[in-house]
Each structure stands twice: as C-alpha cells, then as structure tokens.
Structure 1
Amino acid sequence: MGQHLRVNLTAEEHDELRALIDRGRSPARTVTRARILLMADRSQGKRHTYQDIGRVLYCHPDRISRVCRRYVLEGLRAALYERPRTGAPPKVTGDIEAQLVFLACSDPPDDRKRWTLRLLAEQMVVLGHIDSLSNVTVYDRLKKTKSSLGR
C-alpha cells in the first residue's frame, strides 16, 4: 500500500472547509471530500488512519488516499472539486437534429411506405449533413423531440 501523505491544513483552509460543510449548499461529493480533509488533517493534533476515516465516512481508503494526494500535490481546490471531464463534443448538434426531423417528416423514398431509423441514418449521410450516424442515435434524437411519426 502507498505512503500516507500528511495533510496539514492552514487555519484559513480549515475555516473554509467548515463553512463549506455548514453551508449545506455544496454537492455531496464536495462535502465528503471536505470531511475527508478535515479528518485527515494532522495540524489539529489528531491522527486518523485512512481506515478509520473510511469507517466513519463510509468511504473506501483508496478514495481517501486520492483526496489527500490531490490536496498535497495540487492544493485545496483540486482536492475538493472534480476536474472538467474530457469527451468528444456531441456529433448531432441542433441544426443537424433539425435536418433529421425535417427528413423524418418528409415523404419516404418511392420504394418505401415509411422511414426506418436505419434508412434515416443512411440518408443523412448521403445528403452530406453528417459523416456517420447510427440508427440508435437517430432513435434517441427523434425520441427527444416528442413527436409521433406513427399518428
């Protein structure tokens, strides 16, 4: 198991964490992280192990270790708040969704009675609105429009 990093909060940080907990408006994860830091604080003379803190706060010791490590290496803000998550931007934007709805409301091709999800996805690619599109994405986007094409 890794080395325990010593958390030594300043008086200002201690007061800030207490205020964050007492305010009652912060997300539960942030409050739990604040409680972890307060219990792991060695400047108050108390020495709690990660297992003790975990039992009191119903957290796994690994989580406590991560919070303490982030505090020591990156500071209070990094320990309390999550980093922004990276991720691909959504493929279907508002104007592409509008094109999809417009296509779904139009008449289907001559050899078909109605549009299928797969046919809509293929037609969106053929028309050049988007590079690739799955039928599941078409289903999800049309479902969010709350329109019923069957009526």
Structure 2
Amino acid sequence: MRNRSKLLDDARKPIPMKPAEPMHEDSEYVHHGTCSIFIFTEPLAGWRHVSVRPRRTKMVWVEQVRKLLDVHYPSTPKIRLVIGKLNTDSIASLYEAFESETALRLDKRLEIIHYTPKHGSIPLQ
C-alpha cells in the first residue's frame, strides 16, 4: 500500500490549551513538498513495515515488493497485495526492473493483486 502525502508545517506556532479553553491552531500552513509512503501490514499478526521515499517510481515500487518477499517473508509461498491502481504498481514493472528469472520468482509468490477502488474503501469479504 502506498500513500502520497503532503509535507506540511505550521505557519505559526499553536497556542497551547488552557483550563476550559481548547488549543488554538491557525489553518495556514507551509508546504514542504510531497513524499510517497509505502505501508505493508499483516493486521492479525500485529506486523507492519513503513518506508518513506521522496518519489513514486516503478523502480521504488518493485524494490519494496522484492524486499517484502525476500526479506520480510522469505519462506511464505504466497503474499496477497492490496494496492492503489497506479501506473507504477503492476506485475509488468517487475519484468521491467529485474532479470526474467527474478521477476518470475517474485511474480509466482504474489497472489492476485487486489486494487482499491478509486473512491471509497475495499469491502471486507
């Protein structure tokens, strides 16, 4: 899973809470660019791995998938991915990035990739 996030900062320091008064924050912010956040999670095992990268590219995506399969789950025969429907997130990217033997080995360990809907969340089955 990946999320493109804005890197924001407060334009002015918030005024802390006082008794019977909430904290006061200005809605103005300073924009420091964007980044891509890759999150791999196995909720029932209580496991997650987060990786932040400055850009979203095919090479970054395939390296994250390779690391998931070869480093975090080396003995798991099949991994199911739920991902956004982005132009970088495809099995074809594996074959563009790696030698055919490596791409095929990784491809065989990936179960059907489930794409998240453009608007909304994935229904639980």
Normalized against structure 2, the TM-score is what?
0.25
The higher radius of gyration belongs to 1
Which structure has more relative contact order (CA 8 Å, sep 6+)? It is 2
Quick check: which one's strand share is greater? 2
Quick check: which one's helix share is greater? 1
